[in-house]
Amino acid sequence: MVQTQFIMFMSYYSDYLFKSNDAGFKKTLEFLFASMRSTGDQECIGYAASECLSNMLHDPKVKERIVPLIPTLIGVLNEYSLNLSIPGYFDFLSNF
């Protein structure tokens, strides 16, 4: 439950918290991507992370910051496309 709340907090405020810190913003994205791999009793964490990533793309400022990072995240995106079945992840991809 705490991790899910932290995910929601980070997704809403990461652009403001890391306004001048691109490395911190990228680490936040990596954390959200890693959280999507949660399974079993913690599967809800994966759903929350995918939903948050999808929602982040609705903010044009955040989207502008995410798009340049895609080349460095392409391996993760490819792996997740093959192995994840969380609908929110595919919503995130379709927002590009």
Q: At what angle do helices 22-35 and 43-56 cross, to 10 degrees?
A: 140
Tell me if the pTM is above 0.75: no
Q: Which amino acid is at 80?
A: Y
Q: How confident is the model at residue 82 (pLDDT cuts 50, 70, 90)?
A: low
C-alpha to C-alpha distance for 26 and 23, rounded to whole angstroms: 5
pLDDT (tens digit per residue) in 15-65? 777 788 888 888 888 888 888 777 777 778 888 888 888 778 778 888 888
Binned at pLDDT 50, 70 and 90, residue 95 comes out as low
* Number of residues written out for the chain: 96
Side-chain half-sphere exposure of 41, counting CA atoms within 13 A = 2
pLDDT at residue 6 is higher than 70 = yes
Query: At residue 84, does pLDDT exceed 70?
Result: no
Q: Where are the domains of the chain?
A: 2-94
